[in-house]
Amino acid sequence: MIYDNSSVRRQDRLLDETAARDLLRRGEYGVLSLVRPDSTAYGLPTSYAWDGADVLYLHCAPEGEKLRCLAHCAELSFCVVGRTRVEPSRFTTAYESIILTCRASVGLAAEERMRALELLLAKYCPDDAVAGRQYVEKSFSRTEIIRLDILRWSGKSKRIAR
């Protein structure tokens, strides 16, 4: 996973890698941007779990638009936006965001799929581990996991003093 801000136009607004990792860890959701088989764009917000290294995991049904898009083109963009604050009187917005370029894989081994679901449970349902594990076991056969291998990423922010 290569953190590279060299292509960010506003070099004065770079988000350093430590802050970017923190945003990736605590981000509530990301926007997945894909290409449909007819070459039109398809973007959607989705929950995700990060393995702490260079992989993100998403879950979905075993068939659908996301999977059709990924079968057509496995390279994608994933964007996480953190804290924002609109400053109307200043005509600007304070923000932090990261954009990741990834390659997707599906059809993962059962062990990796279960590990991904455990990461999702730990992130979104930390106080309901037992019930979450039972839910995962019951729905495991009808759940697909998408692994996003992070190829490169960058981050940007605008801080505004109050």
- Residue 101 in domain: yes
Residue 78 to residue 30: CA distance in whole angstroms: 6
- Residue 34 in domain: yes
- Residue 87 in domain: yes
* Mean pLDDT, rounded, for 19-33: 96
- Residue 71 in domain: yes
pLDDT tens digits, one per residue of 146-161: 999 999 999 999 888 8
pLDDT tens digits, one per residue of 14-25: 899 999 999 999
Residue 94 to residue 72: CA distance in whole angstroms: 36
- Residue 96 in domain: yes
CB 87 within 8 A of CB 69: no
- Residue 114 in domain: no
Domain around 91? 2-108+144-158
pTM of the prediction?
0.93
CB 144 within 8 A of CB 62: yes
Q: Write the DSSP string, 96-149.
A: EEEEEEEEEE-S--HHHHHHHHHHHHHHH-TT-HHHHHHHHHHHGGG-EEEEEE
Residue 88 to residue 39: CA distance in whole angstroms: 37
Q: What is the pLDDT of residue 149?
A: 98
- Residue 121 in domain: no
Q: What is the pLDDT of residue 136?
A: 85
pLDDT tens digits, one per residue of 64-107: 999 999 999 999 999 999 999 999 999 989 899 999 999 999 99
* Mean pLDDT, rounded, for 42-60: 97
More confident residue, 10 or 54: 54
* Domain count of the fold of the chain: 1
Two structure tokens written together for 54: 């260079």
Instruction: Using a pLDDT cut of 90, give the percent of the chain over it.
Output: 75
Q: Examine the pLDDT at 162 and tell me if it is beyond 90.
A: no
The 8-class DSSP code of residue 88 comes to: G
Give the residue carrying structure tokens 């049904």. Answer: 61
Q: What is the pLDDT of residue 7?
A: 86
Q: Which CATH number characterizes residue 99's domain?
A: 2.30.110.10
Confidence of residue 8 (pLDDT cuts 50, 70, 90): confident
Please state the φ and ψ torsions of residue 61, each to the nearest 5 degrees. Answer: -70, 160
- Residue 129 in domain: no
CB 77 within 8 A of CB 108: no
| CA-to-CA separations, 45 to 16, 26, 42, 78, in angstroms, rounded | 24, 16, 11, 9
